[in-house]
Amino acid sequence: MCGRYTLIKKPISIGLNSAKTIELPDNADAENPAFKPRYNAAPTQGNLVVRKRPEDERVLMSTMRWGLLPSWSRTGKTSSLLINARSETVAEKPSFKAAYQRRRCLVPADGYYEWKRYRSVNQPYYLQLEDESVFFMAGIWETWYDSAGVSSESFAILTTQANTLTAKVHDRMPVILEGDDTLIWLEGNSDIIQTEKRFELLGPIDSGRMKYRAVNPIVNNNQNDVPDCILEPPVEASTQLDMDF
C-alpha cells in the first residue's frame, strides 16, 4: 500500500520523456494552490493532484482530500478509508470503476514511506527514485455533494505488486508513471485503459530505478510534517535494525 509520502520539490511538468510535455501552472489561484513542501503527506489531509478539468481539458494542480469518497455515497462516509485502489481490480470495483473510467489523476511525489516490523521496532523506510526526482503516482478522484449541494473532492492512489527492491519492505507499492505513460493515464488512451494492456501500464517500476533507506521514526506521527522526517533514524534505533532483512 501507500500510506504516506513526500513532495519536497515542486513539480513543473509531466511527460518529460515525451515529444508532448505539459507544463504545470506555477501561479497560485483558486484552482492552482500555492506550493508548500510536504515531508509527511497523510490520509484525510488536502494534498496536490494533477488532473484535467472535465469541461475544457485544462490541466490543473488541485488540492484534494486523500481518501476517496464515491459520488454515490449517501452519508459522506465509507466503511474504511479508501486511500489506495488495487490496479488489478480498480476497473471493476464499485467504489472505483466510475472514477477509473472518467476521473484519473496524477499524484506528484518524490518519495513514499513504508513500515517494517523488526523486533520491537516499527521502523519506517523511505523509498525514492535513484535520482531522487519527482515522480507521478497514478490516481483516481471523485466529487461528492452533501444534502445542501456543497461539493468536496477526494482521491485515491493506485497500487501494484512490489518490485524486487520494494518487496523487501512491503508487498505492494504505488503505481509510478513516467514519460509517455503519465500522459496515457491522464488523457485516458482507450486502447490501453479499456483493454488488458492496462496491466502493463499499471505494473511496478523497475527495481533498478529505485532505492530505500531507514528514516526517523518521528514520521510515524502524521502531525510531524518537517524535514527531520527523512533524516536517518537516531543511532540507538538504527543499531537495532537488520538492514539486509
* Other beta carbons less than 10 A from residue 81's beta carbon: 15
Calculate mean pLDDT across residues 75-100.
88
pLDDT band at 138 (very low <50, low <70, confident <90, very high): very high
Per-residue pLDDT at 8 exceeds 70 = yes
- The pLDDT value given to residue 244: 47
pLDDT band at 29 (very low <50, low <70, confident <90, very high): confident
Strands 4-7 and 84-86: unpaired
Greater model confidence, 53 or 12: 12
- The pLDDT value given to residue 23: 80
CA nearest to 109, candidates 213, 205, 217, 11: 11
- The pLDDT value given to residue 176: 98
- The pLDDT value given to residue 166: 97
pLDDT tens across 89-115, in order?
999 999 999 999 999 999 999 999 999
Residue 74, classified by CB atoms within 10 Å of its CB into exposed (0-12), middle (13-18) or buried (19+), is exposed
- The pLDDT value given to residue 179: 87
Place of cell 467504489: 95
Greater model confidence, 237 or 219: 219
pLDDT tens across 110-125, in order?
999 999 988 777 899 9
CA distance 229 to 211: 17
Calculate mean pLDDT across residues 206-234.
96
Greater model confidence, 208 or 240: 208
pLDDT tens across 37-70, in order?
999 999 999 999 999 876 777 888 889 999 999 8
Phi–psi pair at 220, nearest 5 degrees: -60, -25
Measured in residues, the chain has a length of 245
pLDDT tens across 147-206, in order?
888 889 999 999 999 999 999 999 999 999 998 899 899 988 889 998 999 999 999 999
Q: What is the DSSP string of 115-156?
A: EEEETTEEEEEEEEETT---EEEEEEEEEEE-TT--EEEEEE
- The pLDDT value given to residue 236: 55
**Contact (Cβ atoms closer than 8 angstroms) between residue 16 and residue 106:** no
- The pLDDT value given to residue 241: 54
- The pLDDT value given to residue 245: 47
Per-residue pLDDT at 240 exceeds 60 = no
**C-alpha 225, offset from chain centre:** 17
Say which residues have a Cβ less than 8 Å from residue 63's Cβ, sequence separation at least 6: 33, 46, 47, 48, 49
Helix (H, G, I), strand (E, B) or coil at 19: coil
Phi–psi pair at 193, nearest 5 degrees: -60, -35
Here the cell at position 105 is 489523476
